[in-house]
Amino acid sequence: MMRPMKLAGSQLLFGEGCLEHLKSLKIKKASIVIGGKSVVKSGILDKVENYLTEAGAKIQLIEGVEPDPSFATVWRGAKEMQTFEPDLIVALGGGSTMDAAKTMWVYYEHPELNTLEALLPPNEFPKLREKALFCCIPSTAGTASEVSRSVVISDTDTGIKHGIGNMEMMPDIAICDPEVTRSMPPRITAETGMDALTHALEALVSNRANYIANVLASQAALDIIENLPKAYRNSDDIKARENMLNASMAAGLAFTNVSLGIVHSMAHTLGSCFHVPHGLCNAVLLPYIIRFNEKDKRAADIYVAFADKAGSDNLVVLVEGLNNELNIPSVLKEIIPDEAKYMSILGEMAEMAKADGCTKTNPIIPGIEELKELFIKVYKGE
């Protein structure tokens, strides 16, 4: 039975100049959450603050969200919000910043919650929007957290990443202005762009796939294949950046409704165990998992049809060529040099990937031994 779809929140804006929409919002206090200093150096933070001030809002700045945000960071931000009492929370940054800010929002609205486990199944997810609305302004074209119901937060003590998803966390306002992504360095452009391509291609073959999601995912993937190399080569190609941001958003609209597959299950696991950047993991894993999924006739037919649209007769070759163009390694051993440690925890990694929520929507649901084999293949290139 098909699940109900939700395509973004109440306001979705995209295209050059749409950041100015902030000054039209009716708010009193805004908490802005950022990660590092890139949005400060680029001048984007100043623009956001000026627009919100023009809207009549007092500003609170919450800084220091790290890659793979921890629950400790979420808790600190929520406490700061509880003191300031914003009626709008703005996440300005990449996926880690948006995920952390979303989760801060939950604990700001519900101070009675005090553990990460409180948001995990089988606990009922709390209602939001009693205190604040939530706005995302992405600085990368990849995670699509601005139109996603999901977050990934690391346990502070164990480092294990927990994926949490609920439509309550769909941002109310998403502002996708390519100017915000202009400062992205080539490596981040490549890795986040391949994350977006993975979202699109996994959504296409998800066992929950449907007509609307397919339309979004297919066009998103085509646009990423065309525009990602351009944005990688020239950070000032604002049209390529706009196309990438729009495609990332469209892929996000698709996957947040139909879910993903074992590229993400395995990438979440590798991120937990070795702290490898998520987009980089996805990029390396993607061709191997396409080959694995081709054993399923439905998935194989989808891959063939999509490759034809993209002007190729082999999707694996197309993705491998794109990775090569973006200087992304073809095997994990180039990223994780400690082979002994990697091989010693194969069983643990296979168990983690098997339990990941994305595994159940993969075209083929692998067993533990199959996952072990895949982890070995992607490490050695076999």
Distance (Å, rounded) from C-alpha 314 to C-alpha 124? Answer: 44
**Strand ranges inside the chain, DSSP E:** 11-14, 29-33, 58-62, 88-93, 133-138, 150-154, 161-165, 173-176
What tens digit of pLDDT does each residue of 192-247 get? 999 999 999 999 999 999 999 999 999 999 999 999 999 999 989 999 999 999 99
What tens digit of pLDDT does each residue of 206-219 get? 999 999 999 999 99
Topology annotation, domain 186-380: Dehydroquinate synthase-like, alpha domain (1.20.1090)
Side-chain half-sphere exposure of 184, counting CA atoms within 13 A: 33
Peptide bond into 86 cis (omega under 30): no
Residue holding tokens 């902030």? 22
Which of the 8 DSSP states describes residue 70?
Answer: B
Q: Is the pLDDT of residue 329 over 70?
A: yes
Distance of CA 81 to the CA centre of its chain: 24
- At 183, the pLDDT band (50, 70, 90 cuts) reads confident
Alpha helices in 294-367 (DSSP H): 297-309, 315-325, 339-344, 346-355
Structure tokens at 199: 């979202």
- Mean pLDDT over all residues of the chain? 95
State the virtual CA torsion across 192, 193, 194, 200 in degrees, nearest 10: 110
Instruction: Give mean pLDDT, residues 107-112.
Output: 97
Instruction: Give mean pLDDT, residues 299-308.
Output: 98
For CATH 1.20.1090.10, the residue range(s) in the chain are 186-380
Q: Is the pLDDT of residue 271 over 70?
A: yes
CA–CA distances in Å: residue 364 to residues 201, 204, 357: 15, 14, 14
What's the whole-model pTM score? Answer: 0.94
Quote the pLDDT of residue 300. 98
Quote the pLDDT of residue 111. 96
- CA 98-169-90 angle, to 5 degrees, is 40
- At 162, the pLDDT band (50, 70, 90 cuts) reads confident
Handedness of CA 303, 306, 312, 313 (dihedral sign): positive
28 three-state secondary structure = coil
Contact of 132 with 89, CB cutoff 8 Å: yes
DSSP 193-247: HHHHHHHHHHHHH-TT--HHHHHHHHHHHHHHHHHHHHHHH-TT-HHHHHHHHHH
- At 8, the pLDDT band (50, 70, 90 cuts) reads confident
Instruction: Give mean pLDDT, residues 104-133.
Output: 95
Q: Is the pLDDT of residue 382 over 80?
A: no
Structure tokens at 272: 């937990």
Q: Is the pLDDT of residue 73 over 70?
A: yes
Residue holding tokens 């297919």? 218
Instruction: Give mean pLDDT, residues 89-106.
Output: 97
- Backbone φ and ψ of 135, nearest 5°: -130, 135
Q: Is the pLDDT of residue 327 over 90?
A: yes
pLDDT above 90: percentage of residues in the chain: 90
- At 6, the pLDDT band (50, 70, 90 cuts) reads confident
Quote the pLDDT of residue 49. 98
- At 1, the pLDDT band (50, 70, 90 cuts) reads low
Contact of 100 with 74, CB cutoff 8 Å: yes
CATH hierarchy code of domain 11-181: 3.40.50.1970
For CATH 3.40.50.1970, the residue range(s) in the chain are 11-181
Structure tokens at 134: 């939530």
